[in-house]
Amino acid sequence: MKKLRIAVALGTRPEVVKLAPVVKVLRSQPETFEVSVLSTGQHRQMLDQALAPFGLEVQTDLRLMRENQTLPDLTALALTAVTGALASLRPDMLLVQGDTTTVLAASLAAFYARVPVGHVEAGLRSHDMANPFPEEANRRLTSVLAELHFAPTPGAGAELLREGVAADRVVITGNTVVDALLELSARPFNPVGTPLEGLPLEGKRVALVTSHRRESFDGGIERICLALAELARAFPDLAVVYPLHLNPNVRRAARSILEGCPGVHLTEPLDYPCIVHLMRRAELILTDSGGIQEEAPTFDTPVLVLRTVTERPEASQRGQAVLVGTDKDLIVATASRLLTDPAARAAMTGKGNPYGDGRAAGRIARAIQGWAGGQTPPLPPELQFVP
């Protein structure tokens, strides 16, 4: 079989984290795969920050972001630019991950170029086109265009089958973020030179907070921040660490309410090793991040999901996460219970990670090879992920 040319499109930090293990495995088999990474630069600063810990280099940097760019602007620009890149690279498959604007535009460009698309983290559904926006639409449309669907969980695979995707095009792989998490967490962590250096965390319980979703901009971020301030006042032994997203809506709201609040530490965006360290250290995580929902069970850290719906229901179904939305009183009450009641905390821990086992990237590589060789299904069921 000839060497397979694989193009990998990414544009945001989560895409880097979740695709880095796949690129690593593919590149470990140079006799089978030739890999080229292309970037839209959708989240320029945070993307560059994510590449370094994995030693990941971008071969084609499209640098598409402009000041005050709208979603239609970015989508149109990415569609045109990725089309040109694919014409030059001439890959046998384009890999995309998740549900960003980069994913949708790159998948459509590949469709027009008749390049098969492999969709990593396929099948996640909230069944609400406005929540998350525009991600729910992006991933549904990408599923229509994809040739191979790498579903992270059996539940995600079942969603695809209900939508009419052929069973021999769906592979249950586990989530690649667990691969990345296990790789990074095995390394020693040194806070020197990071935004964590000098934070007074010694002897404190830590609550890690991340929040950046567009659907929270209409008052939601403010309610979350008011809840954090109340928790910090109620628990003097609690250090609330809130790395601020670069979105000005998030930064403005958080700083107006939390700047100078005792026990609350607002930081600049953290690189992935810092986030992994905090997840391991945290007593509690409050987040609207999909990736952190998937990662936290590895460290047995309870999660309050700052959303009313989630496309990652496995943790909440198993009692490892609780959906609290942006309701200030519910956030405070739920967090307070976990901080004061050992039995409540114990009920959310000790259940393993339903999202992955650290071997997802290997399954994806084998499935691509099986697909190229005409194997049906591309990865035998007995080799697929079972939580």
Task: Say whether 195-347 and 4-175+356-383 share the same fold.
Answer: yes
pLDDT of res. 217: 59
Render pLDDT for 189-206 as a digit per residue (tens, 0 to 9). 999 999 999 999 999 999
For residues 79-104, give the mean pLDDT.
98
Would you say residue 65 has pLDDT above 90? Answer: no
The C-alpha atoms of residue 221 and residue 217 are separated, in whole angstroms, by: 6
Would you say residue 222 has pLDDT above 80? Answer: yes
pLDDT of res. 213: 65
Q: Which range is least confidently modeled, 95-104, 205-214, 230-239, 361-370?
A: 205-214
Render pLDDT for 297-342 as a digit per residue (tens, 0 to 9). 999 999 999 999 999 999 999 999 999 999 999 999 999 999 999 9
Which sequence positions are flagged as catalytic? 99, 121, 135, 212, 214, 245
Q: Is it true that the peptide bond before 14 is cis, omega within 30 degrees of 0?
A: no
248: confidence class by pLDDT, cuts 50, 70, 90: confident
For residues 344-354, give the mean pLDDT.
97
Would you say residue 353 has pLDDT above 70? Answer: yes
Domain ranges for the chain, please list them.
4-175+356-383, 195-347
pLDDT of res. 214: 61
Per mean pLDDT, which of 42-56, 61-75, 206-220, 277-291 is the most reliable?
277-291
Q: What percent of the chain has pLDDT over 70?
A: 98
CATH, domain range 195-347: 3.40.50.2000
∠ CA 138-139-143 to the nearest 5 degrees? 120
pLDDT of res. 46: 75
The C-alpha atoms of residue 282 and residue 126 are separated, in whole angstroms, by: 27
pLDDT of res. 68: 83
The pTM of this model reads: 0.94
Render pLDDT for 25-40 as a digit per residue (tens, 0 to 9). 999 999 999 999 999 9
Would you say residue 216 has pLDDT above 60? Answer: no
For residues 143-149, give the mean pLDDT.
98
pLDDT of res. 8: 99
Would you say residue 215 has pLDDT above 90? Answer: no
Would you say residue 280 has pLDDT above 60? Answer: yes
pLDDT of res. 42: 81
**Architecture of the domain whose range is 4-175+356-383:** 3-Layer(aba) Sandwich (3.40)
Would you say residue 124 has pLDDT above 80? Answer: yes
Mean predicted lDDT score pLDDT of the chain: 95
106: confidence class by pLDDT, cuts 50, 70, 90: very high
